[in-house]
Amino acid sequence: MNLILFGPPGAGKGTQAKKLAETYSIPHISTGDILRDNVQKGTELGLEAKKYMDSGELVPDDVLIGLIKVRLSEPDANHGYLLDGYPRTKPQADALTDILEKISKPIDYVLNIDVQDEELVRRLSNRRICNSCGASYHLEFNPPKTNANCDSCEGKLYQRDDDKEEVILQRLSVYKKQTQPLIKYYDDQNILVTIDGKGQVEDIFNKITNILND
């Protein structure tokens, strides 16, 4: 299964991606996670990316295209992939088309998760992440037992720097200008399916698997 999870910041891409990757035994390739890992390790890429991420801007295309090309050539992507957070611009989408053509792994579906702005801000501003195992919580919808520690490993919970309200609004604006136009790009190729992303995580997951298993 070759999939792209598409949608605005906070649509629930990461949440659904984890469940889908497990169900279909395909690697979850999140460019946001790869970049954050580099920021945490203090690599050259991480230092370069951090300034864009913290201000809600996109990291330059050439960096992302190089990164995704290398990641898709790794052995675990031989039997499928689930891209989360890539592509985000037309140059990234065009580069992906070229890369996938060369490795003969065309996209089966682009799953576009649709959620209204007000709900996105609510989801992102109340998200908390475990600094040890990476588990993601929501203070209202999926609350941890205490607001300070992870239920499963007791790691400390933190708020992403780009989940502050002013940065969230900038991320949404960048999404509308630079990423949303790709909906038409993939719709024109007849591989786009739009899913209503409001509701319970499990219900949305069932809607997606019904499409994929059809």
- Annotated catalytic sites, by residue? 13, 88, 127, 160, 171
92 marked among binding-site residues: yes
Query: Taking the complex as a whole, how short is the minimal distance between the CB of residue 35 and ligand AP5, in angstroms?
Result: 5
Nearest residue to ligand AP5 by CB is 32
Indicate the residue among 190 and 208 with the shorter CB distance to ligand AP5: 208
74 marked among binding-site residues: no
DSSP 62-110: HHHHHHHHHHHTSGGGTT-EEEES---SHHHHHHHHHHHHHTT---SEE
SS3 27: coil
Query: Taking the complex as a whole, how short is the minimal distance between the CB of residue 154 and ligand AP5, in angstroms?
Result: 19
Return d(Cα 208, Cα 210) in angstroms, integer: 5
CB atoms within 10 A of CB 213: 8
137 marked among binding-site residues: yes
66 marked among binding-site residues: no
How does strand 136-138 pair with strand 127-130? antiparallel
Which residue blocks in the chain are alpha helix, DSSP H?
13-24, 31-41, 44-54, 61-72, 90-102, 117-125, 165-174, 182-187, 201-213
Looking at residue 149, the DSSP 8-state letter turns out to be: B
Indicate the residue among 26 and 53 with the shorter CB distance to ligand AP5: 53
Please, which residues bridge with residue 42 across strands?
A: none
Query: Taking the complex as a whole, how short is the minimal distance between the CB of residue 213 and ligand AP5, in angstroms?
Result: 20
Indicate the residue among 63 and 190 with the shorter CB distance to ligand AP5: 63
21 marked among binding-site residues: no
Amino acid identity, position 19: K
Query: Taking the complex as a whole, how short is the minimal distance between the CB of residue 54 and ligand AP5, in angstroms?
Result: 8
Interface residues with ligand AP5 (CB under 6 A)? 7, 9-15, 31-32, 35, 52-53, 56-59, 64, 85-86, 88, 92, 123-124, 127, 136, 138, 141-142, 162, 171, 199, 201, 204
User: Annotated binding site for ATP: which residue ranges?
Assistant: 10-15, 127, 136-137, 199
User: Annotated binding site for AMP: which residue ranges?
Assistant: 31, 36, 57-59, 85-88, 92, 160, 171
User: Annotated binding site for Zn(2+): which residue ranges?
Assistant: 130, 133, 150, 153
